[in-house]
Structure 1
Amino acid sequence: MSSEHVERRLAAILAADVAGSCRLIGIDEEGTLARLKALRRTIFDPKIAEHHGRVVKNTGDGAIAEFASVVDAVRCADEIQRGMAEQNIDVPQDKRIELRIGIHVGDIIIEENDIFGDGVNIAVRLEGIAEPGGISISDDARRQIRGKVDITFEDLGLQSLKNIAEPMRVWRVPSGRAVPAVPNRLPVGDALPLPDKPSIAVLPFANMSGDPEQDYFADGMVDDIITALSHFKALFVIARNSSFTYKGRAVDVKQVGRELGVRYVLEGSVRKAGNRVRITGQLVDTATGAHLWAERFDGSLGDIFDLQDQVTESVVGAIAPTVEKAEIERAKRKPTESLDAYALYLRGLAKLYQFGNRQANEETLRLFNRAIELDPDFASAYALAALCYVWAKINGWFSNTANDMAEVTRLAQRAVELGKDDAAALAPSGWALAFVVHDLEAGAALSDRALALNSNLAEAWFWGGWVKIWLGEPEAAIERFARALRLSPLGPFVAGMRSGTAFAHFFLGRYDEAVSWAAMTLQDNPDSQPGLRIAAASNAMVGRPEQAHKAMARLRQLNPALRISNLKDVLPPFRRAEDLSRLEEGLRQAGLPE
């Protein structure tokens, strides 16, 4: 037995690595290495020293650092990622240098100024599962920092780490705190982490009817199946708007699993011929590509709701067989028994998210109103009709007359009366009452009720995030937008989630982070008026007049009549007067005339 003494101590270990470094070096070897050196010199090494840590070793495109305090390690990581985000503001997405950071506290072995042991290995594995620009920490580290750092963490549950014997509970900084980086498409090799419950995306079903006009019917099948699955609290269900970004594309389910962060994908087809309907479904494990089941469901058009229930129950039975019977019964509830009203509703739903298209919005409203005529108890049709008025107000098509305000109130209130336990009716109704009618209390209550009923409803998190901003609760808003982004990382609402996060940081005085989120908003939608407003205001407040004036110039092209004096006409209500004053001051500095 060796008598040589092994020096050990308890330490917090920070492991950092550049995401996609091989790709970056392949694009521009000399330029990338020069930027890495500069970032290490100006951000990484100074922050490590500032927080009383020491860089133990550099690993080419990464580093290992040791801290006596895990609080210091986490604060250091947060500031590093903020600094990296600021550096990346004007850098194209494919050329950004983004760090992954993992932190663990544990026993280490010291040998000739180097460190070894499980404490180091676990930190490295945590770094490997972090998002680009993100931070992952172990449960041991999380326990020691609770209540000591002003950072919100998301619980990822148990995660299997490479070469670590037992699964470990892992926490991460939500997108929007360390670095707001949720790209529209993840680079090859990156993946969203899996939730701690069975997770699924339902892809658009192929329309096998031979009639392009039947696309709305096939899409409606998928929408209803997603809605039914989302009622199961035991599941994590990706939102419709993200699933539908794959419509009309040949997809690799493994890549879908990586881009959406899900374990299972449901594919299928719909054939409608006369009064007969056939639905086929295949449930695929995205990790292996293996089919868990493939089934065919046949019936008449009058059986359509039963066929949807059969698909839903087959999926749930395969991936979460222990769910309660009450949840199954709740998922079977249908918004209408009228197939004619249902068909009109599906046609409206197919047109609902054509943002910026006034004619499509007006036609959508007519379709929902016709569905209501056929079934006056159709709660979801009332709610989505109210939502059409929200789109009209956002785009400046809303007259703000007493009659229009009364109609929005009527539609929303009727949806709530009929759909007391229907999150899909409550959430848009709350959004309409808050934004159009300026009834913040009603909007907040309905948003909270919708989320209590269905925590998988991405739109409820998204709309609820905006309501929190208007109530003067920006930290809560950031958390809600982060949840919305995870449930719907792709799709038409991403720009709105990002601009909402930008506004929240702006009202917290975090202008650098607001600038970063606003920039990403405009990458998604260069003509987003909320995005341009927050880009102009936040750049002005942080001292970037050129960028502020550029955003303001585009904003005034889109809305030449906009002034400080009429700003309230296009803004939602703000409970805190200081929030409106801060925004007005930022826009004034950016060049908006009085």
Structure 2
Amino acid sequence: MERRLAAVLIADVVGYSRLSQIDEEGTRARFQADLSGIVEPSIVDHHGRLVKTMGDGLLVEFHSVVDALRCAVHVQRQKARQTAAAPTQEKFDFRIGINLGDIIVEGEDIHGDGVNIADRIQALAAPGGIAISGSAYDQVKSKLQLGYVSLGEQKVKSIAEPIRVYRVLLDPSAAGTTTGVPGNLRRWRIPAVAAAVALLLAGAALWWQPWTLLWPTPVERFAYPLPDKPSVAVLPFINVTGNTEQDHLAEGLTDDLITELSKVSGLFVIARHSVFAIRDSSGKIQDVAAELGVHYVLEGTLQRADTRLRINVKLIDAVTGLSLWAERYDREYTDLFAVQDDVIGKIISALEVKLSEGERDQLARIPTDNLEAYDYYMRAEQEGFLYSDVDTYRRTLAYYQKAIDIDPNFANAHAGIARVAVDVWRNDYNFLWSAAVARKIAYDAAGQALKLDPNNARAHTVLALLQLVDGREVEARESASRAVAEQPNDAEAVGNLALILAQTGSRGQAVTEMDKALRLDPTPPPSFQLQAGIVFYTARENERAIPLMLAARDALPKAEPAREYLTAAYVNQGDQTRATQEKAKLIELFPDANLTYYSYLYDYWRDEDLQYHLAGLKAAGIPQWPFGFEGKDADLLGEAELRNLVNNMTWKGQHKNGSVFIQYFDKAGNTAYRSANTSITGNAEIRGNELCERFGGYFLDRMVCGRVYRNTGEEQRDRQFVHVTPLAVMFFSPG
């Protein structure tokens, strides 16, 4: 082990996690491009040694602090020129910290206080800027044509003594200057005789504090501007029981605090997914707050032993690093709701938030009197809404149902079932229920939740989606707006309102609401990224839609909507090459994808938006009918021939995908269809030269029209006819 004096440079990417959520591969590629194209050449040119990269950061050693600062300045100026024209969401800035100090060398690695101080200083740099320690400043202040701003002495984590910190001014006009709080001002003492006068003048000084113009605030580190109201992130409570069976209790407490605080209009509260996404972060509280863009952070631990519950909670001001309030609760488990109420009350009091009468009533409401029912509800919530398979759906539903069995008046559990059911219905997942059954369950469960709690935001959100697809625009907007009014910080409710606004003609307002939703949930799940992309796409903002859709596509590679919308968005942006690539993958995954299907699927859209979408898909090469089927006009059956073919007739045949089927039509317009996996009944009618059918519970209960052609092709020559619909190509003969 060797010790030596060295100049240490540490660089870190601003908001790397947020950028990765939008485009993980692209963000990593840009980092590597900067590393190889800008940073590494500059290190070599200035006689430094790249010790190692650390995820989105890097550690460099120099023999000269002058070389270290020259390298940093070159990198930041190169980056400034490179990113000047980049969209805001693609800005890729470094923070750089430099320290001159003692380091420990072990092999190729270095560590020690000299490195630790450089890391802490880096966090105090502005995005795209450089911060240096006092020891580094003393060596470079008269040797380089740069300016400096003193941040004074800063107390930083893991370093016993405060350290002097300076920010480097890259503007050439500032060269040779050092501004900030004068050193002698910090050493002034107010004589006792003048103390009273100073106190009297303190109030007047609040409106005139010239030194604040020279003292950069830690807020500059934040990935987002702070909201104009108190902003809070509730970090996942840590289960210190040692028993993973209690994880759901810690997560449930976190969820409930977020949900309850989200009801307060005077607060800004980060969404569940974003706080859970950083649960394994090793960064300090200030780093987490900067990443999420909040002023305050709530953290805590939970421990349960039999009937006893111990909870430790702390509210931290992330700008100053000071604790505003801390409490330890050692209670019976049955006091859980009382603890929650007390925590929420203390937060609201500490942040001096005024509650409306309605908010007070909402916060006073206990979700259920039965803790066993509540336990099952929390287990359902722990499964989350990132459903990946049928087993996850079933577990979630089972937990919600057990909660309802124990307490039939548990509104949140009914709303949870409605949320699952509407997802099954919208995505046509027939492995749990038919679409008709899922739709009915969603309506019934949402209605029951609202009967028990008229202010239930999740139930209003579900109801809005059902009303939208049913073509009830006014009611859908009212329900979505009601959900946001009841829970203004709920990213899902705000995002849902944005979707409904976009698809009912209010594009500008939709974009505003979606921006708000993404600010509440800065690292959203893939499904929410896709929804945000659809909103921006519908609003004709393809440059914002595409990165979100790409992130969703990469996370959900087999999700049809991600491929579908990307295909059309690329066309509308003029990128035919990428549109063709996405179309090819869409057809590979879903060979029956076709324009007629999409025209029915989105028949509740406004015609202008539907034609915009279909035109983009058509230009990319999406066919009119499944499997690219193209019938000849000469082979198309007319109205009279169709009536004869469905008048008390039975069809026997085979789908293009190989499934054998039989279908019967009676004289009254009823039809029955049966295959190896399906047995359904419905209605049929002739409309000109089209055969139209509706099967209860399928394809959103739509009447779907198709055509019948004589089979004159080479495929299945033993079948007389081809029936093409938006959903299938079927070869058959009447029997």
- Would you say same fold, with TM above 0.5? yes
**Shift of residue 511 of structure 1?**
4.3
> Greater CA deviation, 411-420 or 20-29?
20-29
**Shift of residue 487 of structure 1?**
0.7
**Shift of residue 192 of structure 1?**
1.3
Q: 1:286 maps to what in 2?
A: 318
1:29 aligns with 2:38: yes
Please give the per-residue CA displacement for 1:351-410, whole angstroms capped at 9, x wherever unaligned: 132332221012212221222222222222122211112332455414654333222221
1:584 aligns with 2:614: yes
1:464 aligns with 2:497: yes
Larger radius of gyration: 2
* Aligned with residue 488 of structure 1, among 521, 529, 533: 521
1:414 aligns with 2:423: no
Secondary structure of the 1:356 match is coil
Residue identity opposite 1:205 in structure 2: F
**Shift of residue 560 of structure 1?**
3.5
* Aligned with residue 511 of structure 2, among 478, 483, 486: 478
Q: 2:226 maps to what in 1?
A: 194
* Aligned with residue 352 of structure 1, among 377, 384, 390: 384
Contact 1:86/1:512, CA 8 A, preserved across alignment:
no
Structure 2 portions without partners, runs of 5+: 1-13, 17-29, 43-75, 95-126, 129-170, 172-206, 625-735
1:567 aligns with 2:609: no
Q: 1:540 maps to what in 2?
A: 571
Q: 2:584 maps to what in 1?
A: 553
2-structure distance, mates of 1:353, 1:235 = 25
2-structure distance, mates of 1:544, 1:87 = 20
Q: 1:491 to 1:25 in 2, by over 3 A?
A: closer
Contact 1:239/1:458, CA 8 A, preserved across alignment:
yes
1:447 aligns with 2:477: no
Secondary structure of the 1:295 match is strand
2-structure distance, mates of 1:442, 1:385 = 21
Residue identity opposite 1:576 in structure 2: R
Secondary structure of the 1:281 match is strand
Secondary structure of the 1:421 match is coil
Residue identity opposite 2:38 in structure 1: E
Using structure 2 for the length normalisation, give the TM-score. 0.55
Contact 1:415/1:429, CA 8 A, preserved across alignment:
no
**Shift of residue 568 of structure 1?**
5.2
2-structure distance, mates of 1:94, 1:164 = 24
Contact 1:387/1:429, CA 8 A, preserved across alignment:
no
2-structure distance, mates of 1:289, 1:549 = 52
1:593 aligns with 2:602: no
2-structure distance, mates of 1:378, 1:201 = 27
Secondary structure of the 1:552 match is helix
Q: 1:336 maps to what in 2?
A: 368
Q: 1:535 to 1:31 in 2, by over 3 A?
A: farther
Residue identity opposite 2:606 in structure 1: R
> Greater CA deviation, 326-335 or 298-307?
326-335
The one of the two structures with greater contact order (alpha-carbon pairs below 8 A, sep at least 6) is 1
* Aligned with residue 268 of structure 1, among 271, 293, 300: 300
- What does residue range 305-384 of structure 1 map to in structure 2 within 5 Å? 305-320=337-352, 322-323=354-355, 327-384=359-416
Contact 1:298/1:307, CA 8 A, preserved across alignment:
no
**Shift of residue 348 of structure 1?**
0.7
Q: How many residue pairs align between the two structures?
A: 453
**Shift of residue 32 of structure 1?**
11
Contact 1:444/1:467, CA 8 A, preserved across alignment:
yes
Using structure 1 for the length normalisation, give the TM-score. 0.67
Q: 1:295 to 1:516 in 2, by over 3 A?
A: closer
Q: 1:208 to 1:586 in 2, by over 3 A?
A: same
The root-mean-square deviation of aligned C-alpha atoms, in Å, is 4.0
Contact 2:231/2:269, CA 8 A, preserved across alignment:
yes
Q: 1:9 maps to what in 2?
A: none
Structure 1 portions without partners, runs of 5+: 1-17, 34-58, 65-79, 102-127, 129-157, 168-187
**Shift of residue 434 of structure 1?**
3.3
**Shift of residue 345 of structure 1?**
1.0
Contact 1:25/1:32, CA 8 A, preserved across alignment:
no
**Shift of residue 422 of structure 1?**
2.7
**Shift of residue 529 of structure 1?**
3.1
Secondary structure of the 1:566 match is helix
Residue identity opposite 1:546 in structure 2: T
2-structure distance, mates of 1:298, 1:166 = 43
Question: Which structure dedicates a bigger proportion of its chain to strand?
Answer: 2
Secondary structure of the 2:596 match is coil
Secondary structure of the 2:595 match is coil
Q: 1:433 to 1:352 in 2, by over 3 A?
A: farther
Residue identity opposite 2:569 in structure 1: S
